């Protein structure tokens, strides 16, 4: 796979999210920057704020999306969601792919922060690759409970090709 190839699962998740030109999006766990590339391509007046706990993830996203960073459309920071202070106070969408936070531990504070920042009508999109089918029910149950407990209306989508499950929390 070439360095800048975008996996089908990421393409599908970003398409499902239906990014609009004026959206203000937070990406949690930007990794190599593939989703950021797709999201920024859809933005005109909107902005993407991408975070990752990993220095290498932040560096890779910045390098891959240098033109978007330079244009001001993309801001990338090395930070944990728990300590996040988003410069964009009101978000229309929050996106993550394979971020374990929402199902492996209590994340009530993080979900409360998202609920406070996501505009009414906005949504949190948590996508997980389903290569370990035995884990899917637990991931869906815990991530759904975390979002519902934070005041989001939850729905779940299960996509076979590519193998992705999405937990969507609408504000």
Quote the pLDDT of residue 87.
Answer: 59
CA atoms in the 13 A half-sphere facing the CB of 87? 12
How many angstroms separate the CA atoms of 11 and 56, rounded? Answer: 22
Q: What is the pTM of this model?
A: 0.94
- 8-170: in CATH 2.40.50.100: no
What digits encode the pLDDT tens for the residues 1-39? Answer: 445 689 999 999 999 999 999 999 999 999 999 999 999
DSSP 4: T
- Domain range list for the chain: 8-170
Q: Residue 34 has what pLDDT?
A: 97
Tell me what pLDDT residue 80 has.
Answer: 87
What is the pLDDT of the chain when averaged over all its residues? 92
89 pLDDT exceeds 80?
Answer: no
Task: Give the Cα-Cα-Cα angle 148, 142, 90 (nearest 5 degrees).
Answer: 45
132 vs 78, higher pLDDT: 78
In the block, residue with structure tokens 């934070």: 150
Side-chain half-sphere exposure of 4, counting CA atoms within 13 A = 7
Give the pLDDT confidence of 78-87 residue by residue, as tens digits.
998 887 765 5
């Amino acid at each position: 796979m070439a360095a800048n190839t975008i996996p089908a699962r990421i393409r599908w998740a970003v398409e499902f999210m239906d990014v609009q030109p004026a959206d203000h999006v937070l990406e949690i766990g930007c990794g190599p920057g593939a989703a950021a590339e797709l999201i920024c391509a859809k933005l005109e007046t909107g902005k993407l704020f991408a975070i990752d706990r990993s220095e290498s993830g932040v560096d890779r996203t910045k390098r891959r999306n240098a033109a978007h960073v330079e244009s001001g459309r993309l801001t990338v920071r090395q930070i944990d969601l728990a300590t996040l202070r988003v410069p964009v106070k009101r978000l229309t969408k929050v996106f993550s792919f394979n971020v374990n936070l929402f199902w492996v531990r209590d994340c009530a504070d993080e979900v409360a922060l998202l609920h406070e920042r996501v505009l009414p009508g906005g949504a949190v999109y948590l996508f997980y690759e389903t290569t370990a089918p035995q884990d899917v029910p637990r991931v869906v149950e815990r991530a759904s409970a975390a979002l519902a407990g934070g005041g989001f209306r939850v729905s779940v989508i299960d996509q076979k090709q590519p193998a992705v499950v999405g937990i969507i929390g609408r504000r």
